[in-house]
Structure 1
Amino acid sequence: MNDSRETPAPSNWNLPNLLTVVRILLVPVFLVLLVGQGGVDPAWRVGAFAVFIVAMFTDWIDGTLARRWGMITDFGKIADPIADKALMAAALIGLWVVGTLPLWVPIVILVREFGITVLRFVIIRWVVLPASKGGKLKTVLQTLAIGLMLLGIPVLVWVPALFAAWTVVAWIAMTAAIVVTLVTGIDYCVKSYRLVREANGS
């Protein structure tokens, strides 16, 4: 006889969701370190970098564990992207506040990021917009670029001979991140249009 009982939904009280909450709580810690004295003090900037890397690591590990252990929850689906966008927004805006980035960089990236998030919610009644390989590359490039930008002050103070080359590499990474961010944003819009049309039988 077939067992028709449904598999119970996983509890929201699990390790992946805990890591997501930890990432959210790290955002103000990161901002305090970066904006507090991170504009001039290399030690504070290294601290901000360390918190940023830990937070990004939790982003990778919580998703991996949730899929591997079958612990994907409604809370995680909502909280995880919120945590990601909050951390990225804090990093980009914080780097602008301390004078490392011009204002147009966080505007361009964050308009795309939040725009695609809104798009996902708008079309969810018809289709779920899956993450693409380009989207994952975008995240890697943004993380790399922000990490390099965060370490600019420590390099300037502790290894000034490398600062010029470091700055060039950091801006190459940021430029690549901006380009991929925009290209994947356009790709998501095109895919969304096609998926919604297919879902409606158009």
Structure 2
Amino acid sequence: MNLPNKITLARIFLIPVFMVLMLVPFSFGSWNFQGTVLPFAHLAGAILFILAAATDWFDGYIARKQNLVSNFGKFLDPLADKLLVTAALLSLIEIGILPAWMAIVILSREFAVTGMRLVAASDGQVIAASGIAKWKTVFQMVALAILLLHNVPFETWNIPLGMILMWIAVLLTIFSGIDYFVKNKHIFRHSM
């Protein structure tokens, strides 16, 4: 197994640790940042999420730079991303920071696009990530990181930056989903 795939697997194995930090009520204390209370376990979970999200860029960079792109990696990397995002979305719903409908929109688009990619793959076609989808991912990851940090330090200034970025991510999610289906409608015509 090459290094990028090992990094991707490590990202998947970090997800249960992240979930425990976010969802199991630990009594490690909390950090009070100018009135915003952030439990230490949530701080550790947010840092772990940020590190895991960063490995997504890092493993892709190594794979391209050292010509280590593999079919296993092409399958595993998006799966790891979807699992990490799903874990963060569900954690934020559970701790009362994110409305469930936002997660439903994001996850519905992910399932739909993944299904389309599977249909395309069965016909030997590969659907690459679009530019709008890449921006969607950037906004999702940054929004999730800020929300996992309970919007610190922006909460101090009464700026709901995490939710603003999540709204942008949701809009980009919808637009990128529509974009994928419009640009690839021929896939469904051939498979029906």
Structure 1 residues 49 and 139: CA distance shift in structure 2, 3 A: same
Matched with 2:181 is 189
Q: Are 2:93 and 1:96 aligned? A: yes
Instruction: Report the alpha carbon displacement of residue 194 of structure 1 after superposing the two structures with TM.
Output: 4.0
> Structure 2 length normalisation: TM-score?
0.86
| RMSD of equivalent CA atoms | 2.1
Structure 2 counterparts to residues 1-202 of structure 1, below 5 A: 13-37=1-25, 42-126=39-123, 127-152=125-150, 155=152, 162=156, 164-165=158-159, 168-194=160-186
Matched with 1:4 is none
Residues 152 and 163 of structure 1 are in contact (CA less than 8 Å); yes or no, is this contact kept in structure 2?
Answer: no
Structure 1 residues 180 and 72: CA distance shift in structure 2, 3 A: same
The runs of 4+ residues in structure 1 deviating greater than 6 Å are: none
Structure 2 runs not aligned, ≥5 long: 31-36
How many residue pairs match? The answer is 180
Residues 18 and 49 of structure 2 are in contact (CA less than 8 Å); yes or no, is this contact kept in structure 1?
Answer: yes
Instruction: Report the alpha carbon displacement of residue 37 of structure 1 after superposing the two structures with TM.
Output: 3.1
> Structure 1 length normalisation: TM-score?
0.82
Structure 1 residues 196 and 47: CA distance shift in structure 2, 3 A: same
Query: Does the residue aligned with 2:158 lie in a helix, a strand or coil?
Result: helix
Q: Which structure has the larger Rg over C-alpha atoms?
A: 1
What is the one-letter code of the residue matched to 2:162? Answer: A
